[in-house]
Structure 1
């Protein structure tokens, strides 16, 4: 029995793939004059305020209880405080292109972690799809892979490694508990609020004497973009999609993020797009297709992705 396409899900997947592809550039611009923890605390603080206004307008603001608060606390720490925070720190020294290729490891980590805990079935098709997509990402940056060993990037790559692991574990954890609460906006309000408070405290500790006059309008606008699009819109789309597809299927969109990041480099920074990029794009799209392709054979198979 064939079902109509879930256009809302497809739109959310599109948002995740495109918007988070632009955040590499946004973070790079923000760290030009702003300190990382001030960027992240401002980003999540504004996101929390935006979601708060939405909840008040819909009259949905409520206390979620201690049990659900604990469920929101863990992804807030893993995916926002650590993953988002450390990625922002890493981009102070690591080029956005290299950040993109290393971040593309997360689908592989999620796939392996998900199969180890039995969250999803071991699938040769899934593994092949993840690897083909990752090879496409590697192909884009094959001439610059030696940069990974650059001692100047050592600290940045260390922080980025923690960010990738934290994001992957947070994704698996969220998928495990996503069925326990249906109000995505309310959950995100608590996650953003928790993360903003922790990150602001870190900002005050690490940079107590910051000179706000040194912040450029360019960096401030980039932070505002990260807040509205990178946090509110993309996180809502991400959590909506994660309720309906596997953790691997949603994280494999990181490969599309890389295409977007490279395209923006060409569009805004005059970076060249070579024939290698065209080949890499084809590999990435093929990898995403292999991972997500599924013949419809009735409800039994459809429930496998839920």
Structure 2
């Protein structure tokens, strides 16, 4: 296997940074956002705006419109990732702290492995070890006692993680638009599903959002959706699913640290220990696989 070109390596580094850091910050942003917005409505507006902006920009720069088959694939992926995954987390954060939400989403790589097995994929021992280490870190983080969640919120986050993982694995086998048009179509479809769900749930705006509410929405549109979600789609096409979903181990670290800085949250020794374990798990999963040429050379020596 050839090493990636410098430009491709830079894209990979930037994409992982977007997933690890930017997505980690969106949990705190969502927590502030649901104080001004109904959760499903906020998520739906977020993805409809982001998807529309990206779609219009791509079409004006010559990108072809998705075919009917591509719209169907994008609708399925958007429903699983954005409506089921992100929508579930957004609803849960009405009762669950941002760090707990990020912690629950740390189960995404485990679900990803289970669903990937259904399609015949086999994972390496190192990936299994990394996921096991990450789950151990998740348990340590939960043992600290500072991250308490309601039973309903916990179930919602677990279901959201499963929905996101299924969409990530299934999406690799569906007909999807090329390049950046894929996340654009998925955000449009996912946003539409979320708005329908908002209406069915009876959500209503009883007052205009606060300045913080509008700022949160803008941040989620630009950084959480246009940048980070596009980076996630790029990684799904260029790295193994276990590596693409390894952000789930880093996001709790980022979410807890931001909670300490901006929400007055405090963590103890168990949480700090968990963060170290989680980072080690991410490094283990993200290590490049040894190619056959390198393995043969090592055997000769």
TM-score for both structures, normalised by structure 1: 0.87
The farther-off stretch of 273-282 and 106-115 is: 273-282
2:39 is aligned with 1:36 = yes
Per the alignment, do residues 2 and 202 of structure 1 end up closer, same or farther by CA in structure 2, a change over 3 Å counting?
closer
Partner of 2:28: 25
Q: Is the 8 A contact 2:38 2:204 kept in 1?
A: no
Deviations 1:143-201 (A, max 9, x none): 328945xxxx1222222222111001001112334xx5563321222211122222223
SS in 1 for 2:37: coil
**RMSD of aligned Cα (Å):** 2.3
1:199 pairs with 194, 213, 230, which one?
194
Partner of 1:250: 244
Where do 5+ consecutive residues of structure 2 fail to align? 296-301
The farther-off stretch of 255-264 and 189-198 is: 189-198
TM-score for both structures, normalised by structure 2: 0.88
Q: Is the 8 A contact 1:2 1:296 kept in 2?
A: no
Deviations 1:283-305 (A, max 9, x none): 1121112212235435899xxxx
Partner of 2:138: 137
Q: Is the 8 A contact 1:15 1:234 kept in 2?
A: yes
Could you tell me how far apart the structure 2 residues matched to 1:57 and 1:25 are?
34
2:19 is aligned with 1:13 = no
Could you tell me how far apart the structure 2 residues matched to 1:166 and 1:134 are?
18
Per the alignment, do residues 262 and 2 of structure 1 end up closer, same or farther by CA in structure 2, a change over 3 Å counting?
same
Q: Number of residues paired by the alignment?
A: 292
Mapping of 1:64-213 within 5 angstroms?
Answer: 64-119=66-121, 121-144=122-145, 147=148, 153-177=150-174, 181=176, 183-207=178-202, 209-213=204-208
* Distance apart, 1:280 and its partner CA: 2.1
Per the alignment, do residues 165 and 127 of structure 1 end up closer, same or farther by CA in structure 2, a change over 3 Å counting?
same
Partner of 2:291: 297
Could you tell me how far apart the structure 2 residues matched to 1:23 and 1:162 are?
19
Could you tell me how far apart the structure 2 residues matched to 1:241 and 1:262 are?
25
